Chains A and B, each alone.
Chain A
């Protein structure tokens, strides 16, 4: 879309939106947010960029094909489920690792990997659909 206002705002907003989506993602376990909501905001950021600058430019900043994002996402889900199986627990049991880094506690866990999978699948899904709809002239 040729609009100076939209272009300028999008350039300013895209970074903020992506950061915001990551923020929502990481706080999700304790405060409102999480992989699904974070993924929606992330997808919204790329959707905005696609509307402002077109899909070719969006593909360039995204770098990874949306279908590949979905694939990586699904793989993360499966991996997070398989890790506990190697420790003798059932599929998808939550496994936690608490690290002390610079005085603050960092929680790493298989639910985190799971949530990353959700995030990537949501972003991949919406971006894939937006790209398809934008790029192919639909005729009825």
Chain B
């Protein structure tokens, strides 16, 4: 499995060059990659169906107290997610080729979508908690690139940042939860953790772990009150919305909670939190979908509703709920993927996604119309489609909830009424009724764009009529992984005349009625207010927080970095004085025993020279050149002191740095006007007091430090080990390039960054000077 993910990443990085070779055909070539991965995963199906699991492991980071393994774990749950990611991924790569055909950034799309695909596969296949987190963050990052694909539009950039911040903060919470979980159980592999559920549940940190993990899952899977980022992310091109924001990434939170259900679940806290947030989300978002006329917004809110349903099922935590979850995830991925792709097709061919401006497209786009109709029937839960089976089991599970079944079933039915209406809107409005003049003259989409939706839609029918095709082979193992122990059941279309069927009929009738009155409902004041409270208000809160943070940053920057160099120096000096002085006085106290016995005449001469040039600086300090030269003398004096004490390397470095500094500073100062005194007498006195105190403190500190006997252990070690271990006699250099090479590397990188920054600041901020830079 490592090879599959690695191959996807490598192909992603090569995508721009592959595009140069194959141009328009790139989509068909690249689609072979997810298709191959799909078939590869499919080959494990018999083994998984027989109750087996597969683990593959490679050590990645190895440390004393823990290891990070690139371990992969395949069971029912990860297999189904893997199949959805690669299967729909195949169609998305094809679809993107058609949808973005002619877009100059198409290679960039392939790059990012494949990177995302690899990361997402990593999330669902990885076994190690830390590697799950790394892949999880990679999906956030790649989704940022994909949402901001139209980077020239401010709305896209804003939506991308919003999604990144919301899911990124959740990701940090998740990391905290995972680390706590790992240390609580001592297990970092999910496959091993699954047996440690009791330890985690009885651990004093259980609540903290649960809240942190939920923080990650709820933000990623857009649960209330974080649901707002997902409709915002519709700024992305439609292939991205279809893939990330309905079929795969937003289900990462669902996947994670389903995966950890045997570890964290089966408690009242779990049920109340996961089930509660799920049911609130599904209710709020189902009706929000009816307040929009943009196809993608309607679908986005219905996706949030579906995610809420999945969360509710995980929260319910019964056997039946697990079955419902397995069926629901599969059916949702198929119909919602198809609907999003059709919506993008309509946008692409007719030039608008507003259902009020569309109508009668079925004659112009027959294949899309069939795909949309079948998918919408599945979404509405109408027999004999797969979505019907899903909804029946969801109702059954809600009816048999161990806590408040009446509440759960009522809310589920009320929400599903809205979804039936939404299904009707997204297919009847654009495709049926009178033909309407559209911004572009509509015609059928190219094959690359209809092949995905039609296959997914037809599969919704096939799996609905012949559920035995998927039940034992896929659905049962999935439900078993989430439940924690193998389950045995089968799916059927007909359950007899029972309560769920009655509720389905009620839902259908209610939904069709709602559709009839939709035009009035949408424009009514309560609906507008509803939209204001639940769709706009969270965005406003988010904007307020971000702007507040920026305001705070601006305020503290204006205070601390006001551009006056003497202010910076005062801040640094006073901070050092207080922090060091406090520690010094409380920890060691003043030690006054200066010993002048080893001081030679030349030491005196040097010290007097250094202090003397300081005096020159102070006395004639109104010319910059004088100050620089005086500072240079201090530097050269210091290097002589180094030399007298045997530090030749240090002395040479000091001399060279001093020389080059003088040259650099002179180059700058040639252009700077004469010194003007801007400080008042009071602040000059203040600065003087601070300077003298700082100098006094350093003197006392050095006296105190030298009074402590010198421990030569480290320097002796280097002196002894330098030649045998590193084949060098110059200890300074050996330390720099061998013993502590990593430190040096960090310092050199700092030098490189500083060089680039100076270069960029001086050369690239000036209009007209940019041409020269290319040389």
Q: Which residues of A contact B (CB under 8 A)?
A: 24, 28-37, 40-41, 43-44, 47, 51, 59, 65-67, 70, 73-74, 77, 80-81, 91-92, 94, 96, 107, 109, 111-112, 114-115, 117-118, 121-122, 124-126, 128-130, 132-140
Bound together, the chains give a CA A41 to CA B673 distance in angstroms of: 31
Which of chain A's residues have a CB closer than 8 A to the CB of B744?
A: 114, 118
Partner of B664, one of A37, A74, A111, A133: A133
Can you spell out 28 A-B residue pairs with CB atoms less than 8 angstroms apart? A28-B730, A29-B727, A30-B728, A31-B729, A31-B730, A33-B652, A35-B736, A36-B653, A40-B653, A40-B657, A65-B775, A74-B749, A77-B748, A80-B741, A81-B745, A92-B742, A92-B745, A96-B727, A111-B728, A111-B734, A111-B737, A128-B756, A128-B758, A130-B667, A133-B664, A138-B668, A138-B672, A139-B671
Q: Nearest residue in A to B62 (C-beta to C-beta)?
A: A90
Partner of A73, one of B664, B742, B748, B772: B748
Q: Nearest residue in B to A71 (C-beta to C-beta)?
A: B752
User: Does A36 lie within 8 Å of B730, measured CB to CB?
Assistant: no
User: Does A125 lie within 8 Å of B754, measured CB to CB?
Assistant: yes
User: Does A124 lie within 8 Å of B652, measured CB to CB?
Assistant: no
Is the interface on chain B under 10, 10 to 19, 20 to 34, or 35 or more residues?
Answer: 35 or more
Which of B165-173, B393-401, B761-769 contacts its partner? B761-769
Bound together, the chains give a CA A92 to CA B739 distance in angstroms of: 9
Which of chain B's residues have a CB closer than 8 A to the CB of A126?
A: 660, 664
User: Does B759 lie within 8 Å of A132, measured CB to CB?
Assistant: yes
B656 proximal to A (CB < 8 A): yes
User: Does A29 lie within 8 Å of B748, measured CB to CB?
Assistant: no
Q: Chain A nearest CB: distance from B744 CB in Å?
A: 7
Which of chain A's residues have a CB closer than 8 A to the CB of B766?
A: 136
Q: Chain B nearest CB: distance from A54 CB in Å?
A: 13
User: Does A29 lie within 8 Å of B733, measured CB to CB?
Assistant: yes
Which of chain B's residues have a CB closer than 8 A to the CB of A139?
A: 671
Which of chain A's residues have a CB closer than 8 A to the CB of B751?
A: 121-122, 125
Which of chain A's residues have a CB closer than 8 A to the CB of B734?
A: 29, 111
Q: Chain B nearest CB: distance from A85 CB in Å?
A: 13
Partner of B763, one of A29, A91, A136, A140: A136
Partner of A34, one of B649, B664, B756: B649
Known: A44-B656, A44-B660, A111-B741. A34 touches B759 (CB 8 A): no
User: Interface of chain A, helix or strand or loop or mixed?
Assistant: helix
User: Does B755 lie within 8 Å of A137, measured CB to CB?
Assistant: no
Known: A32-B652, A94-B726. A121 touches B752 (CB 8 A): yes
Q: Chain A nearest CB: distance from B653 CB in Å?
A: 6
Q: Chain B nearest CB: distance from A118 CB in Å?
A: 6
B667-686 interface with A by 8 A CB criterion: 667-668, 671-673
Bound together, the chains give a CA A74 to CA B748 distance in angstroms of: 8
User: Does B732 lie within 8 Å of A136, measured CB to CB?
Assistant: no
Q: Chain A nearest CB: distance from B264 CB in Å?
A: 36
Q: Chain A nearest CB: distance from B736 CB in Å?
A: 6
Q: Nearest residue in A to B668 (C-beta to C-beta)?
A: A133
Q: Nearest residue in A to B736 (C-beta to C-beta)?
A: A34
Bound together, the chains give a CA A7 to CA B674 distance in angstroms of: 30
B583 proximal to A (CB < 8 A): no
Bound together, the chains give a CA A109 to CA B772 distance in angstroms of: 38
Which of chain A's residues have a CB closer than 8 A to the CB of B667?
A: 130, 133-134
Partner of A115, one of B649, B673, B737: B737
The digit string for B717-747, where 1 denotes a CB below 8 A from any CB of A, is 0000000001111101110111001101100
Bound together, the chains give a CA A139 to CA B738 distance in angstroms of: 44
User: Does B738 lie within 8 Å of A37, measured CB to CB?
Assistant: no
Partner of A136, one of B656, B736, B737, B762: B762
User: Does B732 lie within 8 Å of A34, measured CB to CB?
Assistant: yes
Q: Nearest residue in B to A94 (C-beta to C-beta)?
A: B738
User: Interface of chain B, helix or strand or loop or mixed?
Assistant: helix
User: Does B741 lie within 8 Å of A59, measured CB to CB?
Assistant: no
Which of chain A's residues have a CB closer than 8 A to the CB of B745?
A: 77, 81, 92, 114
**6 nearest A-B residue pairs (beta carbon):** A125-B755, A40-B656, A29-B728, A32-B648, A34-B733, A132-B762
Task: Determine which residue in A34, A92, A109 has the highest number of CB atoms from chain B within 10 A of its CB, and name it.
Answer: A34
Known: A67-B759, A74-B752. A37 touches B729 (CB 8 A): no
Known: A92-B742, A114-B741, A132-B762. A33 touches B649 (CB 8 A): yes
User: Does B762 lie within 8 Å of A140, measured CB to CB?
Assistant: no
Q: Chain B nearest CB: distance from A26 CB in Å?
A: 11
User: Does A70 lie within 8 Å of B673, measured CB to CB?
Assistant: no
User: Does A32 lie within 8 Å of B730, measured CB to CB?
Assistant: yes
User: Does B752 lie within 8 Å of A70, measured CB to CB?
Assistant: yes
Bound together, the chains give a CA A47 to CA B659 distance in angstroms of: 11
Which of chain A's residues have a CB closer than 8 A to the CB of B272?
A: none
Q: Chain B nearest CB: distance from A120 CB in Å?
A: 9
User: Does B730 lie within 8 Å of A33, measured CB to CB?
Assistant: yes
The digit string for B632-670, where 1 denotes a CB below 8 A from any CB of A, is 000000000000000011001100110110011001100
Bound together, the chains give a CA A132 to CA B648 distance in angstroms of: 32
Known: A70-B756, A121-B748, A136-B769. A34 touches B737 (CB 8 A): yes
Q: Chain B nearest CB: distance from A55 CB in Å?
A: 10
Which of chain A's residues have a CB closer than 8 A to the CB of B653?
A: 36-37, 40
Q: Nearest residue in A to B769 (C-beta to C-beta)?
A: A136
Which of chain A's residues have a CB closer than 8 A to the CB of B732?
A: 32, 34
Q: Nearest residue in B to A39 (C-beta to C-beta)?
A: B656
Q: Chain B nearest CB: distance from A97 CB in Å?
A: 11
Which of chain B's residues have a CB closer than 8 A to the CB of A65?
A: 775
Q: Nearest residue in A to B766 (C-beta to C-beta)?
A: A136
Which of chain B's residues have a CB closer than 8 A to the CB of A124?
A: 752, 755
Known: A77-B748, A118-B744, A135-B772. A29 touches B729 (CB 8 A): yes
Partner of A133, one of B737, B742, B762: B762
User: Does A67 lie within 8 Å of B775, measured CB to CB?
Assistant: no
User: Does A137 lie within 8 Å of B671, measured CB to CB?
Assistant: yes
Which of chain B's residues have a CB closer than 8 A to the CB of A59?
A: 775
Known: A34-B649, A136-B763. A67 touches B727 (CB 8 A): no
Known: A73-B752, A130-B667, A134-B667. A111 touches B738 (CB 8 A): yes
User: Does B748 lie within 8 Å of A128, measured CB to CB?
Assistant: no
Bound together, the chains give a CA A122 to CA B657 distance in angstroms of: 11
User: Does B755 lie within 8 Å of A67, measured CB to CB?
Assistant: yes
Partner of B755, one of A24, A96, A129: A129
Bound together, the chains give a CA A43 to CA B657 distance in angstroms of: 10
Q: Chain B nearest CB: distance from A4 CB in Å?
A: 21
User: Does B737 lie within 8 Å of A114, measured CB to CB?
Assistant: yes
Bound together, the chains give a CA A96 to CA B723 distance in angstroms of: 13
Q: Nearest residue in B to A41 (C-beta to C-beta)?
A: B656
Bound together, the chains give a CA A67 to CA B657 distance in angstroms of: 20
